């Protein structure tokens, strides 16, 4: 009796939980849903239907045709992919090594250096635009894709994340490897990095999403159309300060920009969620 | 000729050729923002191709740089980083800041090198545009595309409530009467507003300038970048007028309305009158389903609005070749034919007066008389406010006006606060200029 009552109350709670989560999920997905619907809506200003979520029209691809015609999307995709993967490749090396140093190596001022490193997280990126641009120009990298990537090669957040991840790994593994005669770099590559995989995956997702969506820095440092990234290409035909917006074209363009990330998420959903759970990144 | 001499001269000739082709084209970059809807970025690229084809010794590249504000940021950053672009299409009221910061060069020497006087050069452009381009005794910018605020109204709605679409409101009294007649209510709910004004940052400041100037005001000291007149009677009247339309007459929605929401509401017939830029004209012409008309912004004391739009400026730190090439580009972009074509494509009016003498422009205006209204209003247009730290000083007013629009503050207290904030922002400049007195 008592257990039955308890379990039915538990079911009730469970149901309420699912209902609340569904509402939250709906609220979060509404913009995406609206974007998808608006991108297939014929251009019209006959009423308020632009804001409606109900697809009460004959779908059209005209918005996509116009968006694709407005910018060289193939080039934009390629540049954005190069930038995101380039940054990530370097970052994975730097954050693993720096994370290892802060987690395992004993040296004077370790804590101080680490906190100094963390201070970077407090800086608002726009205040670094001018100094970074000066450095990039002196290096002769202005208007190169490398210039878009360079400021991000070292990531304070990534170093912090890897240091914390390494510290959760028992030293026994390393000691066993050391007994076998492994050098420190072999320990990092063969022991620590594989064990820290969830942390690395979580960081990769955050990094790729952030740089995929980045607008201001690429806009500052890139001048040639052929070196533009997706966000700038999108902005060049969807932003207008002094007139009404062609919401359909904006929605189609935004969809094209977001599509690769959405697809990747759909494909690797389980892995993404798992690594966030493991690494404690929310 | 001695064989050796022959070889030598051949080598010299080849070298000359080689050097010649290396120097053949001066490469220059121009930064440009995209201020209105449509494929302007593409149109700008094709303009560059035409320019380069006509000038084989120059290779100009147009660089898209975001909004007016982002273009401003990128230009300052590029100048500081030692990579100044050869030319920038810059919001006309930011030019003063570049002159104050000593980052752009006066164009008078280049004008003089063409054998023209600065007066004759500026005389090509509408007088209303001179204030933002030529100040402190020199020419700093060349007007590229410009706008003024216009009153757009739905002619179907006008007929429906017995107003004459041929005779739109000219005074504030007529304007507020029309707004009252046009507003439709069902119980407590308003189904159609009489009037909507854009009140997002930047647009709001521009609309308030227009209302203040129509009420006899100056808004700012056009001769000196350290003074604004936010708490004067002309501005108090203008803001009280708006406050009354919202909170007393209830013919305008409360709170902040984005410029895009205003035009969308106008298309949807949810508002009968709006104030928007001439830059919206092409877009409204193409998309408005019901009949519409355009008119001057109504006046209380006099007809007056501020210009908007952008000018071409030339940063310091360019080589002689770049300077010359940039000047060629600036002259070409502001020539009657190019200026006129860009105007028809965008909806902006052409700054170059001669553009309106060209047959294709005459034909266009005959077909689109609404574009003529924008040109006619130019006779009453004035300079756009430009001060030390223009954006912050403008925001000081906008934040307070938004508080009035949402019913949180009364006009007088809001304007006093705006004035105090603006003076605080301009204080360093004032201390270094007007209050920098003999010790």
Assign residue A228 the CATH number of its domain. 1.10.3720.10
Q: Which residues on chain B are in Cβ contact (under 8 Å) with A235?
A: 34, 64, 66
Does some domain include residue B256?
A: yes
Length of chain A: 282
Residue B23 is classified by DSSP as S
CA distance B121 to B100: 23
Low-confidence ranges of chain A (pLDDT < 70): 1-7, 43-52, 56, 239-246, 278-282
Does some domain include residue B161?
A: yes
Cβ atoms within 10 Å of B367's Cβ, excluding its own: 8
Does some domain include residue A5?
A: no
Residue A61: predicted pLDDT:
86
Residue A49: predicted pLDDT:
55
Q: Give the range of the structural domain holding residue B355, as residue numbers without chain letter.
A: 3-147+308-382
Cβ atoms within 10 Å of B221's Cβ, excluding its own: 14
Q: Which residues on chain A are in Cβ contact (under 8 Å) with B65?
A: 219
Same domain, A33 and A173: no
Give residue for tokens 């420190």.
A184
In total, how many domains does chain B have?
A: 2
CA distance B322 to A159: 45
Question: Residue range B413-418: average pLDDT?
Answer: 97
Q: Which residues on chain A are in Cβ contact (under 8 Å) with B36?
A: 240-243
Same domain, B128 and B77: yes
- Higher model confidence: residue B393 or residue A66? B393
Same domain, B182 and B200: yes
Q: Give the range of the structural domain holding residue A108, as residue numbers without chain letter.
A: 65-279
Q: pLDDT, tens digit, for every residue of B231-253?
A: 999 999 999 999 999 999 999 99
- The answer to whether residues B132 and B311 touch, using CB atoms and an 8 Å cutoff, is yes
Give percent of chain B above pLDDT 70.
Answer: 93
Residue B251: predicted pLDDT:
96
Does some domain include residue B428?
A: yes
CA distance B153 to B163: 11
* A30-37 own/partner pairs: CB under 8 Å, 24+ apart: A32/A262, A34/A251, A35/A251, A35/A254, A35/A255, A35/A258, A36/A251, A36/A255
> Residue A47 and residue B268: Cβ atoms within 8 Å?
yes
Question: Strands across the sheet with B58-64, in order?
Answer: B58-64, B26-32, B87-91, B308-313, B142-147
> Residue B83 and residue A137: Cβ atoms within 8 Å?
yes
- The answer to whether residues B84 and B326 touch, using CB atoms and an 8 Å cutoff, is no
Map A4-50 to HEC letters: HHHHHHHHHHHHHHHHHHHHHHHHHHHHHHHHHHHHCCCCCCCCHHH
Same domain, B48 and B157: no
Does some domain include residue B71?
A: yes
Same domain, A108 and A87: yes
Helices (H) and strands (E) in chain B, counts: 19, 14
- Say yes or no: A136 contacts chain B, CB-CB below 8 A: yes
* Domain end position, chosen among A44, A60, A76: A60
CA distance B326 to B314: 8
Does some domain include residue A29?
A: yes
Partner-chain residue, chosen from B37, B77, B83, that has the shortest CB–CB distance to A243 = B37
Q: How distant is the Cα of A125 from the closest Cα of chain B, in angstroms? A: 14
Residue B338 has pLDDT above 90, yes or no: yes
Residue B139 has pLDDT above 50, yes or no: yes
Same domain, A145 and A251: yes
pTM (two decimals): 0.81
Partner-chain residue, chosen from B42, B65, B347, that has the shortest CB–CB distance to A219 = B65
Close Cβ partners of B312 (under 8 Å, ≥ 6 residues apart): B87, B88, B89, B90, B141, B142, B143, B144, B330, B333, B334
Residue B324 has pLDDT above 60, yes or no: yes
Residue A34 structure tokens = 């609206």
Same domain, B18 and B124: yes
Same domain, A109 and A50: no
CA distance B288 to B268: 9
Residue B21: predicted pLDDT:
43
Q: How far is CA A103 from CA A39, A115, A280, B10, in A?
A: 49, 13, 17, 69
Q: Reduced to 3 states, what is the DSSP secondary structure of residue B311?
A: strand
Same domain, B403 and B291: yes
Residue A50: predicted pLDDT:
61
Does some domain include residue A4?
A: no
Same domain, A231 and A110: yes
β-partners of residue B63 are B31
Q: Of the candidates B235, B199, B195, which has an alpha carbon nearest to the alpha carbon of residue B218?
A: B235
Does some domain include residue A190?
A: yes
Same domain, B20 and B79: yes
- Say yes or no: A241 contacts chain B, CB-CB below 8 A: yes
Q: Which residues on chain B are in Cβ contact (under 8 Å) with A43?
A: 287
CA distance B134 to B170: 32
Same domain, B94 and B231: no
Does some domain include residue A166?
A: yes
Same domain, A151 and A164: yes
Same domain, A54 and A72: no
Residue B437 structure tokens = 């007195």
Does some domain include residue A3?
A: no
Which conformational region is residue B374 in: left (phi greater than 0), alpha (psi within -120 to 50 degrees), or beta? alpha
Same domain, B19 and B159: no
Query: Which range has the top average pLDDT, A128-132, B264-268, B286-290, B416-420?
Result: B416-420
Question: Residue range B253-260: average pLDDT?
Answer: 90
Does some domain include residue B439?
A: no
For residues A16-54, b (16+ Cβ closer than 10 Å) or e, as one string? eeeeeeeeeeeeeeeeeebbbbbbbbeeebeeeebeeee
Same domain, A140 and A44: no
Chain B interface mutation, best of A44, A134, A135, A242, highest count of B Cβ atoms under 10 Å: A242
β-partners of residue B152 are B274, B294
Q: Which residues on chain A are in Cβ contact (under 8 Å) with B289?
A: 45-46
Chain B interface mutation, best of A63, A72, A244, highest count of B Cβ atoms under 10 Å: A244
* Domain end position, chosen among A36, A60, A84: A60
- Higher model confidence: residue B70 or residue A146? A146
Same domain, B128 and B261: no
Same domain, A78 and A174: yes
Does some domain include residue B326?
A: yes
- Chain A residue nearest residue B78, CA to CA: A133
**Taking CA A241 as the corner, what is the angle to CA A235 and CA A244, rounded to the nearest 5 degrees?**
95
Same domain, B179 and B197: yes
Q: Of the candidates A91, A89, A96, which has an alpha carbon nearest to the alpha carbon of residue A193?
A: A96
Do the bridges between strand B138-139 and strand B271-277 make them parallel or antiparallel, or are there none, so unpaired? unpaired
- Our CA dihedral for B334, B339, B345, B349, rounded to 10 degrees, sits at 100
Do the bridges between strand B184-186 and strand B189-196 make them parallel or antiparallel, or are there none, so unpaired? antiparallel
Residue B22 has pLDDT above 50, yes or no: no
Close Cβ partners of A199 (under 8 Å, ≥ 6 residues apart): A161, A162, A164, A165, A275, A278, A279
Q: Of the candidates B376, B422, B413, which has an alpha carbon nearest to the alpha carbon of residue B150?
A: B376
- The answer to whether residues A32 and A245 touch, using CB atoms and an 8 Å cutoff, is no
Residue B39: predicted pLDDT:
67
Cβ atoms within 10 Å of B385's Cβ, excluding its own: 26
Residue B388: predicted pLDDT:
93
Do the bridges between strand B26-32 and strand B87-91 make them parallel or antiparallel, or are there none, so unpaired? parallel
CA distance B90 to B312: 6
> Residue A133 and residue B81: Cβ atoms within 8 Å?
yes
> Residue A239 and residue B277: Cβ atoms within 8 Å?
no
Q: What are phi and psi of B190, to 5 degrees?
A: -90, 125
Residue A187 structure tokens = 């320990």
Q: Of the candidates B90, B140, B100, B397, which has an alpha carbon nearest to the alpha carbon of residue B226?
A: B100
When pLDDT is cut at 50, 70 and 90, the band that residue B314 belongs to is very high
Residue A184: predicted pLDDT:
87
Residue B13: predicted pLDDT:
47
Same domain, A160 and A247: yes
> Residue A242 and residue B63: Cβ atoms within 8 Å?
no
Close Cβ partners of B282 (under 8 Å, ≥ 6 residues apart): B36, B38, B345, B346, B347
Q: What are phi and psi of A157, to 5 degrees?
A: -60, -45
B324: domain CATH number is 3.40.190.10
- What is the CB-side half-sphere exposure of residue A268 using CA atoms within 13 A? 14
Q: Which residues on chain A are in Cβ contact (under 8 Å) with B203?
A: 241
Does some domain include residue A133?
A: yes
Same domain, A71 and A42: no
Residue B169: predicted pLDDT:
97
Q: pLDDT, tens digit, for every residue of B296-309?
A: 999 999 999 999 99
* Domain end position, chosen among B364, B382, B400: B382
Same domain, B390 and B267: yes
Q: What are phi and psi of B291, to 5 degrees?
A: -70, 145
Residue B354: predicted pLDDT:
95
Cβ atoms within 10 Å of B231's Cβ, excluding its own: 18
Which conformational region is residue B106 in: left (phi greater than 0), alpha (psi within -120 to 50 degrees), or beta? beta
Chain B interface mutation, best of A243, A246, A251, highest count of B Cβ atoms under 10 Å: A243
Same domain, B198 and B288: yes
Do the bridges between strand B292-295 and strand B149-154 make them parallel or antiparallel, or are there none, so unpaired? antiparallel
Q: Which residues on chain B are in Cβ contact (under 8 Å) with A242?
A: 35-36, 147, 259, 276-277, 279-280, 308
> Residue B264 and residue A220: Cβ atoms within 8 Å?
no
In total, how many domains does chain A have?
A: 2
Same domain, A74 and A201: yes
Helix axis angle for A269-279 and A197-212, nearest 10°, is 110
Cβ atoms within 10 Å of A66's Cβ, excluding its own: 17
């Amino acid at each position: 009796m008592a257990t039955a009552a308890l379990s039915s109350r538990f079911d009730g709670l469970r149901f309420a939980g699912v209902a609340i989560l569904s509402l939250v999920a709906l609220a979060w997905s509404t913009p995406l849903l609206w974007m998808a619907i608006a991108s297939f809506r014929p251009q019209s200003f006959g009423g308020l239907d632009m804001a409606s979520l109900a697809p009460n029209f004959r779908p059209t691809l005209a918005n996509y045709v116009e968006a694709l015609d407005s910018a060289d999307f193939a080039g934009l995709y390629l540049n954005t992919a190069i930038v995101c993967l380039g940054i990530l490749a370097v970052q994975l090396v730097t954050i693993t090594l720096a994370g290892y140093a802060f987690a395992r190596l004993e040296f004077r001022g370790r804590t101080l250096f680490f906190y100094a490193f963390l201070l970077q997280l407090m800086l608002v990126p726009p205040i670094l635009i001018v100094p970074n641009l000066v450095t990039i120009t002196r290096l002769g990298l202005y208007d190169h894709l490398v210039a878009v990537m360079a400021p991000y090669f070292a990531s304070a957040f990534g170093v912090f994340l890897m240091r914390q991840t390494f510290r959760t790994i028992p030293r026994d593994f390393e000691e066993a490897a050391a007994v076998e005669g492994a050098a420190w770099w072999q320990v990092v590559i063969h022991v620590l990095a594989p064990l820290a995989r969830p942390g690395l995956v979580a960081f990769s997702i955050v990094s790729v999403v952030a740089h995929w969506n980045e607008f201001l820095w690429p806009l500052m440092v890139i001048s040639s159309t052929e070196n533009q990234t997706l966000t700038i290409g999108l902005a060049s035909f969807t932003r207008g300060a002094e007139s009404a917006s062609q919401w359909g074209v904006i929605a189609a363009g935004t969809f094209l920009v977001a599509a690769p990330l959405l697809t990747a998420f759909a494909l690797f959903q389980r892995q993404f969620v798992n690594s966030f759970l493991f690494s404690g990144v929310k | 000729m001695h064989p050796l001499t022959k070889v030598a001269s051949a080598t010299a000739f080849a070298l000359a050729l080689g050097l010649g082709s290396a120097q053949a084209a001066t490469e220059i970059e121009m930064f440009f923002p995209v201020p209105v809807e449509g494929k302007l970025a593409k149109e700008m690229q094709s303009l560059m191709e035409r320019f380069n084809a006509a000038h084989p010794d120059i290779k100009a590249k147009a660089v898209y740089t975001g909004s007016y504000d982002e273009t401003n940021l990128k230009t300052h950053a590029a100048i500081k980083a030692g990579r100044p672009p050869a030319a920038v299409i810059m919001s006309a009221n930011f030019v003063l800041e570049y002159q104050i910061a000593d980052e752009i060069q006066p164009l008078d020497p280049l004008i003089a090198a063409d054998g023209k006087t600065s007066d004759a050069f500026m005389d090509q452009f509408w007088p209303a545009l001179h204030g933002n381009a030529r100040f402190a005794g020199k020419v700093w910018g060349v007007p590229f595309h410009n706008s003024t605020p216009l009153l757009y109204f739905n002619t179907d709605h006008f007929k429906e409530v017995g107003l004459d679409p041929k005779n739109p409101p000219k005074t504030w009294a007529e304007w507020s009467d029309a707004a009252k007649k046009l507003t439709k209510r069902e119980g407590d709910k308003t189904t159609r507003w009489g009037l909507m004004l854009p009140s997002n940052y930047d647009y709001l400041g521009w609309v308030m300038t227009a209302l203040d100037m129509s009420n006899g005001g100056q808004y700012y000291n056009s001769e000196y970048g350290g003074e604004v007149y936010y708490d004067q009677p002309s501005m108090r009247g203008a803001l009280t007028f708006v406050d009354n339309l919202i909170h007393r007459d209830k013919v305008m929605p409360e709170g902040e309305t984005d410029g895009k929401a205003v035009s969308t509401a106008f298309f949807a017939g949810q508002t009968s009158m709006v104030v928007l830029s001439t830059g919206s004209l092409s877009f409204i012409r193409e998309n408005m389903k019901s009949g519409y008309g355009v008119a001057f912004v109504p006046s209380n004391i006099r007809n007056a609005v501020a210009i908007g739009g952008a000018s071409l400026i030339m940063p310091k730190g360019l080589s002689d070749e770049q300077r010359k090439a940039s000047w060629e580009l600036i002259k070409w972009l502001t020539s009657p034919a190019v200026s006129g074509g860009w105007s028809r494509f965008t909806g902006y009016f052409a700054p170059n007066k001669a553009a309106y003498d060209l047959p294709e422009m005459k034909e266009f205006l005959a077909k689109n008389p609404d574009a003529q209204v924008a040109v006619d209003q130019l006779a009453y247009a004035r300079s756009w406010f430009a001060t030390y730290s223009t954006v912050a000083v403008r925001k000081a007013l906008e934040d307070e006006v938004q508080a009035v629009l949402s019913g949180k503050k009364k006009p007088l207290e809001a304007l006093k606060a705006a004035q105090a904030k603006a003076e605080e922002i301009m204080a360093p400049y004032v201390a270094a200029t007007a209050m920098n007195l003999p010790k």
